[in-house]
Amino acid sequence: MIILGIDPGTARMGWGAIKIAKSKKQKVKSKDLELLGYGCVVTDKEDGVGKRLVILRRELKKIIVIHQPEVMVVERLFFGMNARTAISVGQATGVILLTANEHKIPIFEYTPGEVKSATAGSGSADKKQVATMLHILIKIEKKIKHDDEYDAIAVGITHLAHHRS
């Protein structure tokens, strides 16, 4: 099974494609996970919102064609963020949901607390703790430039924790 984890955002959309080698009934171990690819779609802040959303959709379609995910997983909008950020994340999430539905890919959403708990063992873990645990759980070969990439990989692993335990 291939899971595509997404950390939504209009300025930066992190993504991570994870392949799981075991069947659903067996317990997944870190050696069963393969990180097929990861990255961050970055849009120009000088572009209008409409253009940025078109870029996100176009790039997400490319990622879907390359990795052929069976499931997409998105970090759910956190309502404690400021209104401007929430609107931007909501717009990006809408594009992600639309694109997943166009490709008939089931989509799941998890809160930041669920992601932190599933990857680092605590819903109050910080980004550094999550990143450290991800390096233990899955082989990350190239340098990660943006936290959004870690967040996307983490949300993909969260889906495993929720559906394979």
47 given a catalytic annotation = no
What are the tens digits of pLDDT across the range 116-163? 888 888 777 888 888 888 988 888 888 888 899 999 999 999 998 877
Residue 60 tokens, joined: 């997400």
75 given a catalytic annotation = yes
Which residue of the set 59, 75, 114, 151 is catalytic?
75
> For residue 9, how many other CB atoms are within 10 A of its CB?
24
Which residue of the set 59, 109, 148, 151 is catalytic?
148
pLDDT value at 28 more than 80 = no
Beta pairing partners, 38? 16
Which residue of the set 7, 109, 149, 151 is catalytic?
7
